[in-house]
Structure 1
């Protein structure tokens, strides 16, 4: 009665139910995470029921000797998400939410990969099927996350160094980006591996600088401004306050 697909979705549904109960007990009942897990649990119930009704969509005339073509990294990523999920129950709600996102994404990728590898006897066709299904989702998500990390890292660098050094760093970085982009445009026949390597090195350098900037903290002027809230200063007598916003009175 229960075939491979049915067992997979029923097990995933049970796992989602356990996580939902744990979240409601240990974290918070009305939080966004509880609502998301409830919706996930309801969706998995519907998918499991559909898979059971269509008997996994199996056709008895099809061969059953289709073998897996390659190993998968998604079980490892799912395990990392599960660790973060459990850690979030003890440490912080942020870990729980992030672990849930990682776990759901890894399970989705794993299921699609398992389906694609049994779609036919041709590995190339199976890989094409997986890419056609997931690339419209993977590429925008990865690009958004990568761009967000680069922007945040660059902001940490600019907030850690002095104003003069920030101006110089911004000009130098813009010149480097312009030069590299011009090189790519002038020589479109460059190997994709070389182009990818240059982009990865640049991104890693910015992220490393962002980590260093986060460790160094804000520059003294910004740290003082964050502590004192300069916009709340008002005139106090004939002497002018150091941080009084003189243009605010004209608005």
Structure 2
């Protein structure tokens, strides 16, 4: 029986997940066919119903706009995903004669490891740009990085339920402000996590560049296509350190590979190295 896994979302053609996962499974010597499937919230239930009639599924990577919609399609939610109500991973686990769909959130680990790799120590000031599921994960990640309060900047301040729930769940003070007010607090922050889609932060980048603002902190820009983003370029020009979104994608994918392969910590540094090679990231010191 052939084994299968996929990344789900819309749009999805730009995803680097197939390259990361395929490289890992080849290195591990496991034949898991990993593909990209374009799905919206409307088409997700039908896909999951059809999938239940098929054998050999090991896992699903879940991206926007499906990170909360997937909650209705699983049998169990584990770990920080239960606190956040946001998932990016579904692992298929054998349970006797049945298969259980178990949801996780590996985005939090992806953010934590990507930021720590930049040498960040607990930071008193943190900013998140953008709302939604990834912003909720960023709130939880910042709490693990030692941050007690976060400023969140969004286009619509009435649509931040996921981030507010995450902050309440992990005990972080969250101040919500309009995106038009973001430039100055962003420049002054120790850690900035942009969860905005590609080009959505161009206005903030323009303000930073025009003002000549100094940026002494670390920016993680989750958007990785095109790269470098205008925000990343402006941040680096101001003197700050930039962590590319591919770093987060790599580290969250490592946790997914451990679940989908069912090999846990056997997914080691050698496997991570070939995953880095697959998307053009420098190999890491472990």
Give the TM-score of the pair, scaled to structure 2.
0.24
Higher percent of residues as strand: 2
Higher percent of residues as helix: 1
Give the TM-score of the pair, scaled to structure 1.
0.27
Query: RCO (CA 8 Å, sep 6+): is it higher in 1 or 2?
Result: 2
